[in-house]
Amino acid sequence: MAPLHAAPPPPSAAASSSSPAAPLFVARPHHHRRPAAAASCSLAVTAAAAPSRKAFLPCPDHSPGRSLAAPPRITPSSSPALVTSVQDLYDFICSGPLVDRIGYTKEKIAESIDRWLRCGGQVARLFRLNELQLSEAEKARIYHFYIPVFLWCEDQVIEHRAKYNEGDEIPPLVIGVSAPQGSGKTTLVFALNYLFQVAGRKSTVLSIDDFYLTAKEQNELRDRNPGNALLELRGNAGSHDLQFSVETLESLTKLTKEGMKMKVPRYNKSAFGGRGDRADPSVWPEVEGPLEVILFEGWMLGFKPLPNEVVKAVDPQLEVVNKNLEAYYDAWDRFIQSWIVIKIREPNSVFQWRLQAEVAMRADGKPGMSDEEVMDFVSRYLPAYHAYLPTLYKEGPNGSKPEHLLVIDIDEARNPIWGN
């Protein structure tokens, strides 16, 4: 099986525009990394294939057995077309709501504009978008969301690795991404993983979903908690194999040398009529060392147990879930050194996002849940959101440090907004 780190190295800025591997963004030769130069410089963009017009960038298939390697590259035509000036794009980047949060000034953006352009071309290729015809939503998704978050993550990795001496075995940095279902975390993590790969850093992706109990164990959990809808199906605290997650994370953090390999678990949500089961190890992707980054994502990462009276006031069924949550810090959160928390305004948005996904699936001829089934599914998660999100947003994940925590406020359209 091909290793997870299977993306090609980043294309050279000097590559010919007629080469399939050439960057789609091509800065003119007289551009230099100075604010003054950016104002007068033009940006040429190589024409690409027909674009996707989806406002929310679709995430490629992550089904068991499929690695997160780069998708086929778009072959550009031979004639570049003028799209906009570097100054216009620079102004657009500076207007993004995450710039201040990632520690970038206008001067720093101007000095690193070539990097923003390179990353923009890479993300556009990843999602098969035509850079000549990006919609405003796609442009914002790339330059106000994915690239700023990647640059913050890259700075976190550089700082982490600087703590070690030359010749030391450096463990990978574990970056936790906590975000409600449907908020776009899986697509964000997919983009981050790809950008790390083309930057030459070996990375891998884990989800808390990968550590769900097997189908047999989930049935046993349900039988031990009769009448508790929150533990009837997978999802809430108690439905994960914590020992399995500890063993996996400990093994991944030891992939510090060339030649070291291990398979990363995956979960098959479609098994047993949608009740799910752990995927067969034969389809787990393989990861090679030296690993530099582990992107660990999940809807309840960073949730902290609360006093019983608090959770019982939200939903009496949460009491046992709250008790189960006490073991999750040692199993998950203690491994995470840097945190990304996607903050939503209203937990009920999860229902709308899930409904949108199911409607899109049905429109594509794929089996999807009915509106009633979506409501039943989401209702099993909403009590935990209502109970634990306020504390997560107020205090941050347990053990997190302000300098290693990036909070991203998003609106109902899942776009970053200016936070409080």
Q: Is 260 helix (H, G, I), strand (E, B) or coil?
A: coil
Asked whether residue 5 is domain-assigned, the answer is no
Question: Which pLDDT score, from 0 to 100, does residue 269 have?
Answer: 86
Question: How many structural domains does the chain have?
Answer: 1
How many C-beta neighbours within 10 Å does residue 87 have? 18
Q: Give the pLDDT of the chain (420 residues) as one tens digit per residue.
A: 333 333 333 333 333 333 333 333 333 333 333 333 333 333 333 333 333 334 456 554 444 443 444 333 333 333 333 345 788 889 999 999 999 999 999 999 999 999 999 999 999 999 999 877 888 899 999 999 999 999 999 999 999 999 999 999 999 999 999 999 999 999 999 999 999 999 999 999 999 999 999 999 999 999 999 999 999 999 999 999 999 999 999 999 999 999 999 999 999 988 888 889 999 999 999 999 999 999 999 999 999 999 999 999 999 999 999 999 999 999 999 999 999 999 999 999 999 998 888 888 778 887 777 888 889 989 999 999 999 999 999 999 998 999 999 999 999 999 999 986
Q: Provide the residue range defining the domain that includes 58.
A: 25-409
Residue 72, Ramachandran bin (φ over 0: left; ψ between -120 and 50: alpha; else beta) = beta
Q: What is d(CA 183, CA 413) in angstroms, rounded to the nearest whole number?
A: 9
Write b or e for each residue in 229-262: b if 16 or more Cβ atoms lie within 10 A of its Cβ, otherwise e: ebbbbbbbbbbbbbebbbebbeebeebeeeeeeb
What pLDDT, on the 0 to 100 scale, is given for residue 358? 81
352, burial (CB in 10 Å: exposed 0-12, middle 13-18, buried 19+): middle
- CATH number of the domain to which 150 belongs: 3.40.50.300
Supply the pLDDT for residue 237: 98
* pLDDT of the residue at 84: 55
Domain for residue 7, yes or no? no
Residue 410: which of 177, 197, 194, 226 has the closest Cα? 177
Q: Assess if residue 330 is contained within a domain.
A: yes
Q: Chain centroid to CA 149: how far?
A: 10
Q: What pLDDT is stored for residue 357 in this prediction?
A: 81
Does 282 fall in a domain?
yes
Q: What is the pLDDT of residue 65?
A: 40
Give 14-67 pLDDT, tens digit per residue: 333 333 333 333 333 333 333 333 333 333 333 333 333 344 565 544 444 434
44, part of any domain: yes
Task: Please choose, from the candidates 182, 185, 113, 178, the residue with its C-alpha nearest in 3D space to the C-alpha of residue 151.
Answer: 113
DSSP string for residues in 317-354: THHHHHHHHTTHHHHTGGG-SEEEEEE-S-TTHHHHHH
In the chain, the amino acid numbered 60 is: P
What is the DSSP track for 54-84?
-SSPPPPP--TT---PPPPPPPP-SSEEEEE
Largest CA distance in the chain: 70
Phi, psi (deg, nearest 5) at residue 349 = -60, -30
- Could you tell me if residue 8 is inside a domain? no
Domain assignment present for residue 414? The answer is no
Closest CA to 301 of 217, 175, 190, 187: 175
Which tokens hold the place of 86? 């570097």
How far apart, in whole angstroms, are the C-alpha atoms of residue 319 and residue 344?
A: 24
| pLDDT at residue 133, as a whole number | 80
The DSSP secondary-structure symbol of 154 reads: H
10 Å CB burial of residue 151 (0-12, 13-18, 19+) is buried
Per-residue pLDDT tens over the stretch 287-298: 999 999 999 999
CA-to-CA distance for 340 and 329, rounded, in angstroms? 16
Q: What is the pLDDT of residue 58?
A: 55
* C-alpha–C-alpha distance, residues 353 and 364, integer Å: 17
- In DSSP terms, 80 is beta-bridged to 46
Q: DSSP letters along 103-136, please?
A: T--HHHHHHTHHHHHHHHHHHHHHTT--GGG--H
Evaluate whether residue 163 is within a structural domain.
Answer: yes
Of 204, 210, 263, 269, which is closest to residue 240 (Cα–Cα)? 210
**pTM of the complete model:** 0.82
